Structure 1
């Protein structure tokens, strides 16, 4: 249970390559990120990364019309059938070649996959009871070059395929008598998009040079005629005149083969479907330098969205080609365009910058705008309550992420060079006004490689890599206080003691120096090492120091006595892979690898270590042994992932990666420079190396995060899959617990539920306790169950809507058992921080709601006053009218009485 961490979310990257998809309701965007798939909920402003991964980067994702399943295909053609409801992999399949696009038919019964110059139509999984989920129905040949895009008619009778040979092919999903295939020309560049009109065979085709062709069909969808034979049969000799070759089987695959010729079919008794070139339009009036790179069409509203290499996109109304809107969203190439079912939101993906944008074109506003670090992510830090994560990257940006939503809400761009380290304090960057609060500079230019802030937040220190010095500044004044010299090598890491004003500095000169901040910044102790120090960190109680060295070891020191208490050799646990250009095995390559980042757990009993490897290790400090190892990535698109040499890549001249196949035109082999740690960015075909640059445990202890080549990975405890009873006995059963509840023995029921330790049962028991009995139950609980109950309340408070109920539990537990909990402050600290995180999140949500309601209440009050004044004015008018009527009535009565008196007289 303690180390049952599972992959939770991927932050720091929102889009890499491939096509975007909107969910069925149009409220979520499904985006491929490397070899994973992320779902961004635009209504609730949250993100989720599916717990699936392919062996290489994903190139295309096909979504079923009902939104229940998706087919994910990577660069090699390996496909996964994924359930979007259960988030599980249902089937594995391999297309053996790279797949360019995949598209389900509108009725969900078939899907078409394009690879090389062929279109393959499969039966959709789940529609028929078959052993194999991917059953090939037909293979369509026609284009001479690679196929690029697909679209279906609304009734799923036909589909169209675009190609790099500048032709567009219309195929029948069935063997229609008057339409088997049809080839369309008219373009002078690669076809980027082809779209059917709504409930019609009319076509729009868009090419890379910015040309739109409109094709009009002489036949309606109802005019497609089935052949006399209902079942598809191989064509006879007479049918070859219609422009179709003899049907044959492809070796190793089942399914009918349909081959098309470019010539138009000849007339027969049945009139064939024909297309007429109606009109031609051009996007690029100024020239051909701006290529059209992506296109999407919304059939109900007849809107065409086109994206260009310059970051500009256009909205046109078809078929008149009226420009509705044009905007530049980036200076990078738009890689993918998608539009939701209602036609209001348009999704854009830019692979060059790692951007994902959702634009509402009617209001001309952003619904969603996210961008990750488009270079390596270097470091991370948790906020004190664990609610935020701040990351720094080689792109010079500092981003703050919300751990609950998984989204970035502020980016600081004040740095002009790579950010090598970050730490979280409330006054460095103002998270209330989102601005730079203070900038610290050195008297002479220095390359800072490490950073640390003391517990009080008053002292800021940075270590230099070139001058071997440590700089100290005051947070209040921003002035440089002292420059500490003494190291004889670059300063690799700094760490302040959490209980004392002592700074520990690690250097490549094989020493750890402890600096006393209260005694004139003098060296208090120097700890000798056997190898270069790469990372140093204090235990949360400040009584132990962990150091990672270049020889792959982790050494533990007592900072008070300056004595080494233990060491762990982690070189064999790293298990680094070999690079493509390596001439040695992975086992030999591992001898030069080491841990570069360390982090203690919240209780200080274990330590997390990561480095130049795809593995993250958790060690038990007391036993000095490996407890668990996490594989952070299985993506073979990264370098240094493979363990053995692939003999299929070996030639008579050596490894294929080292063979220069260029013809002297400058496109040679991209071999990284010696000693380059972060990858050679000068090469055009950059293949990043897998590595872990920074690790941090959450203050709550429920999760940990790692900055890797893939992005910011978050691993959380998954208690639902682990049965971890406490003091279990034969009489501890769900039936006995519910019996205690019926007898209103609340304390006994809680103790039994926590002994069985099932989350659903614990929540049921806890929420059965009456509100007025909470204080009594908390006072009668044994001490051993107080911490367990407080931890469970903190976990429930984070997601439950019963805010006052769980707050009452937390308040009574802390008030009645505060002194006992204070004595175990070290062990109870993660629970208290989890409680603080939950309360803070609810406070922020409620404060926003209250601020919003304040204006609503003011408006309602003003409206009621206005109506009251209006009603008062109407009442005054009514009173005046009544008084006028009374006055007229009295005058009439007086006149009548006078008339009567006159008559009497």
Structure 2
């Protein structure tokens, strides 16, 4: 269980491609992020990535009407039937072709997928267990080119399909006698969207050139007649219904019925086919030929049409009058997807060019969510000391700070003008120090969100790494071109010294956590140790057999780890300058073959080395990552591989397959080498620096910031279990008020509900006695349970009493086990700090309101008694009272959203 890390969340990417969906309650947005799906909870300000992944980037997502199931289809045609309740994959299916869109019928009984120039209707999976969840019902032909969009009528009787051949086809979900299929023209460009009107067969169609056609049908939905069966089906129905009498209306006219699928002839006036006629055609205002219509959504209840364009502008129109409500620019890139929630208040926009996801409330004209992923890959990250924040730096010259609890980016620093190469926190956790290729090292304040220090060198240079000592007073950065190390003072911002001696670019710097010693790694195959307390002189020089790529100290400062270009990790004693061990990682880092590579992955030297290292909190293991899709955890003392994590299985990225795809081989050679322009969008590399802090670790990848954590809520993990430990025995001990025995048995069974029941049954005045009777082995488990309970439970004071008594009683004994208890204590501190921040903000707000109310009342009490009533001063005071009451009603959280 120590290394049972599971995928926890994906940060840094909020939208990649595909369509957006709102959940049934309208409070969450479902967004495809590469080959994963993220759910953004707008009410609770949280994001959660589902623990499932497809083989390629997700192309479309279809949500069932009840919001329980989702069909996720990737670019290769592979589909996942996922449960949004239990967050698991229920069924896998392959559609044998690229799917453009998928949509459930409003009644939830059918769903339609469009692939190529046809549409296929399947029986939707039910709640019962089925042998095959996807059963093909019908295949519809008609369009000559690729299909683009789907929309259903409210009664699920018909659906419309748009195509790139400028036509829209209306198909019947059943074999209607007067409407089997109908083709609509009238456009001069590819169809982007088609939408039925509410409780009607009337249709709106939109094309890429910005044209809107309004179609009216002369037949209502209830006027559709089932087609009479023929052949053996008709004979079978006649046998079943031979004894039934046909009913007639009072005037003697026949009326159509459908009993057990039997169609009765209708009156003569109703035998005509359904016909469509175009009643109007509108055009959107175009700013140029490049401003094509790229996405559209329509809300049938409020008659709201939202259209997005290639220039990043979107329009809101009221149909069918086509009245313009609002027009706004949300980005400088094309709008790729639009979705409207059930109430029609919130509109979600996805822009794949910059990875933007926006949720806009059109009535108040304000943003509910505004997030943007990284335009380029993130190359460095750092955890804050309490584990609440993650800071990332990337090639897009931006520094982003993420909240690990909510998953949102809450601040972005854009002061750097070139790629950010290094990110680190000070020990206080409120200052971020970054290095960049623009020749500056900057310090950012997380209190005021500003760049308060900028460190520069006497002559222009490019910084490749950065480090801060444990006191936070000394900042060090290594240069890539001048082979020097620069030392600054955080307090004054002045350059203290320039350390020379290396004969190659500096690849990494790291301070000893316990001493004033700086370690620097260089391409000159050496690691130098500098004494910060003794005139910054070199104390030791460690000779390596290959180029040094990364260096880090153990948390206690007694060991030094160095990653080299020959795929080795060497361990050194910094006091005696003696090598204590080495790990060979050549066979653990398997790299894939890029499409532009001319040699096989086996003989390629790219990605065969670790580029980043990080010790675990107890110092017994080390986490290593490089230019590969694998991250490895090694045992330092035994020098063996403990576990290897595959970061991604997304085949849409380059260098993910070990062998070259034979389908891309032609008689002239590799197709990618012939046409290299085709690889401009997909050619990427995967840098994987990772940082581990106790219960979780993170890795910066091409897909975003991946977070893995020890979340074992769904995992049964008993501890010293025997046959006498049962839930009945635990509840019997609680009834006998034998709380210590009940708690010990609950932790041995290790079921969360029983643990919560046992702990919460203890009276608050007996917690100290029960805490003192717990064995030392169970104290760590109780602390971990308390830390996880702070995330969900409302009994804050009760669990705080438990925490205080445990630490007070067992504090002296726990000091000898600091290494093993550090992850649990950090997790506990992180949970308590979050509640402290929330409560302190609320208390500050209430104190401000009370001071304001007291000041206003005091001002009114000091009013001169000679002033007549209704004077100007009294009117001002009454106005102040109204303002104070307005502030008190508003509250601290009103109008706040997850903006970044």
**Is the pair's TM-score, using the shorter chain for normalization, greater than 0.5?**
yes
Residues 1:770 and 2:771 are matched in the alignment? no
What does residue 248 of structure 2 align with? none
Any residues of structure 2 matched to 1:583-622 within 5 Å, and which? 583-589=598-604, 593-622=608-637
Does 2:687 match 1:695? no
Q: Is the 8 A contact 1:60 1:101 kept in 2?
A: yes
| Cα distance in 2 for residues equivalent to 1:509 and 1:161 | 64
1:305 maps to: 306
Q: Aligned match of 2:545 in 511, 530, 537?
A: 530
CA deviation digits over 1:608-630, x for unaligned, max 9?
A: 11111111111011110001111
Q: Deviations over 1:106-133 (max 9, x none)?
A: 1111111111111111111117875321
How far 1:721 moved relative to its partner? 4.8
Deviations 1:373-400 (A, max 9, x none): 1101111111110011111111111111
Aligned with 1:825 (options 818, 827, 845): 818
Q: Structure 2 matches for 1:84-123, cutoff 5 A?
A: 84-123=84-123
Match of 1:16 in 2: 16
- Please report how far the alpha carbon of residue 854 of structure 1 lies from its aligned counterpart in structure 2 after TM superposition: 4.1
Other structure's SS at 1:587 match: coil
Any idea what the Cα deviations from partners look like across 1:170-215, whole Å, max 9, x if unmatched? 1111111111111111111111111111111111111111111111
Q: Aligned partners of 1:733 and 1:861: how far apart in 2?
A: 59
Question: Are the aligned partners of 2:654 and 2:682 in contact in 1 as well (CA < 8 Å)?
Answer: no
Structure 1 partner of 2:261: none
Contact 1:703 1:716 in 2 (8 A): yes
1:56-71 map, 5 Å: 56-71=56-71
Q: Is the 8 A contact 1:401 1:407 kept in 2?
A: yes
Distance 1:739 1:864, change over 3 A: farther
Taking a change above 3 Å as real, the CA distance of residues 834 and 233 of structure 1, as seen in their structure-2 partners, is same
Instruction: Could you tell me which runs of 5 or more consecutive residues in structure 2 were left unpaired when the two chains were aligned.
Output: 235-267, 432-442, 863-900
For the residue of structure 2 that corresponds to 1:439, the secondary structure is strand
Structure 1 residue 585: deviation in Å?
2.7
Confirm or deny that 1:413 pairs with 2:414. Answer: yes
Structure 1 residue aligned with 2:713, among 717, 720, 724? Answer: 720
Once the two structures are TM-superposed, the CA of residue 595 in structure 1 deviates from its matched residue by: 0.6
Pair 1:66–1:40, CA change in 2 (3 A): same
Aligned length: 816
> Any idea what the Cα deviations from partners look like across 1:296-351, whole Å, max 9, x if unmatched?
00111111100011110000001111100000111111100110110000000000
Secondary structure of 2:604's aligned partner: helix
* Alignment TM-score, normalising by the size of structure 1: 0.87
TM-score by length of 2: 0.87
Q: CA deviation at 1:742?
A: 2.6
- Residue aligning to 2:333: 332
What is the Cα deviation at residue 857 of structure 1?
5.7
CA distance in 1, matches of 2:713, 2:785: 13
**Which portions of structure 1, spanning 4 or more consecutive aligned residues, are displaced by more than 6 angstroms?**
230-234, 858-869
Partner of 2:215: 215
DSSP 3-state at the match of 2:842 = helix
Q: 1:709 aligns with which of 699, 702, 706?
A: 702
Q: In the alignment, what sits opposite 2:572?
A: 557
Q: Which residue of 2 aligns with 1:260?
A: none
Question: Which residues in structure 2 correspond to 1:17-56 (within 5 Å)?
Answer: 17-56=17-56
Could you tell me whether the CA contact under 8 Å between 1:298 and 1:304 is conserved in 2? yes
Q: Which of structures 1 and 2 has the bigger CA Rg?
A: 1
SS in 2 for 1:3: coil
Could you tell which deviates more after superposition, 836-845 or 575-584? 575-584
Q: Distance in 2 between matches of 1:100 and 1:787?
A: 51
Number of the residue aligned with 2:202: 202
1:800 is aligned to: 793
Q: How does 1:386-397 map to 2 (within 5 A)?
A: 386-397=387-398
On the 8 A contact 1:599/1:696 being kept in 2, the answer is: yes
Unaligned runs of 5+ in 1: 235-266, 661-667, 672-682, 870-905
The 5 Å alignment of 1:242-257 reads none
- How far has the Cα of 1:725 moved from its partner? 4.2
Tell me, yes or no, if the aligned pair for 1:609 and 1:616 is still in contact at 8 Å. yes
Distance 1:545 1:124, change over 3 A: same
2:589 counterpart of 1:574 = yes
Cα pair distance change 1:796/1:270, threshold 3 Å? same
Structure 2: distance between partners of 1:498 and 1:335: 48
- Higher mean alpha-carbon deviation, 598-607 vs 724-733, is at 724-733
| Aligned: 1:742 with 2:742 | no
Query: Does residue 847 of structure 1 match 2:840?
Result: yes
**1:177 aligned residue:** 177
Aligned to 2:885: none
Residue number in structure 1 paired with 2:242:
none
Query: What is the CA–CA distance in structure 2 between the aligned matches of 1:866 and 1:202, rounded to whole Å?
Result: 65
Question: In 2, distance between residues paired with 1:810 and 1:299?
Answer: 54
Query: What secondary structure, in the 3-state scheme, does the structure 2 residue paired with 1:849 have?
Result: helix
Indicate conservation of the 8 Å contact 2:607/2:627, yes or no.
Answer: no
Secondary structure of 1:750's counterpart equals helix
> What is the DSSP-based 3-state SS (H/G/I as helix, E as strand, rest coil) of the residue aligned with 1:165?
coil
- What is the rounded CA distance, in whole Å, between the counterparts of 2:533 and 2:232 in structure 1? 89
Asked if the contact 1:380–1:390 (Cα under 8 Å) also holds between the matched residues in 2, the reply is yes
- In structure 2, the CA distance between the partners of 1:751 and 1:580, relative to structure 1 (3 Å rule), is same
> Do the aligned residues in 2 keep the contact of 1:576 with 1:590 (CA within 8 Å)?
no
The 2-side partners of 1:186 and 1:372 are apart by 39
Q: Counterpart in 1 of 2:255?
A: none
Question: CA separation in 1, counterparts of 2:823 and 2:122?
Answer: 52
Check 1:180–1:538 CA distance in 2 against 1; reply closer, same or farther (3 A cut): same
Structure 2 counterpart of 1:366: 367
**Alpha carbons of 1:122 and 1:514: their partners in 2 closer, same or farther (altered >3 Å)?**
same
Q: Relative to structure 1, is the Cα distance of residues 371 and 770 closer, same or farther in structure 2, using a 3 angstrom cutoff?
A: same
- Kindly state the Cα deviation for residue 784 of structure 1 after the two structures are TM-superposed: 3.5
Measured after TM superposition, the shift of residue 669 of structure 1 is 2.4
Contact 2:209 2:293 in 1 (8 A): yes
Match for residue 669 of structure 1? 676
Q: Is the 8 A contact 1:575 1:590 kept in 2?
A: no
Partners of 1:157 and 1:94 in 2: CA distance: 27
> Secondary structure of 1:59's partner?
strand
CA offset digits 1:413-460 (Å, max 9, x no partner) = 111111111001223322122111211111111111101010110011
Q: CA deviation at 1:48?
A: 0.5
User: For 2:270 and 2:24, how far apart are their aligned partners in 1?
Assistant: 43
Q: Deviations over 1:458-508 (max 9, x none)?
A: 011111111111111111111111111111111001111100111110111
Q: Which moved more, 1:172-181 or 1:536-545?
A: 172-181
- Indicate conservation of the 8 Å contact 1:147/1:162, yes or no: yes
Q: Residue 318 of structure 2 aligns with which residue? A: 317
State whether structure 2 residue 292 is matched by structure 1 residue 291.
yes
Distance of 2:556 and 2:179 partners within structure 1: 78
Deviation at 1:583, TM superposition (A): 3.1
Shift of 1:730: 4.8
Distance 1:610 1:320, change over 3 A: same
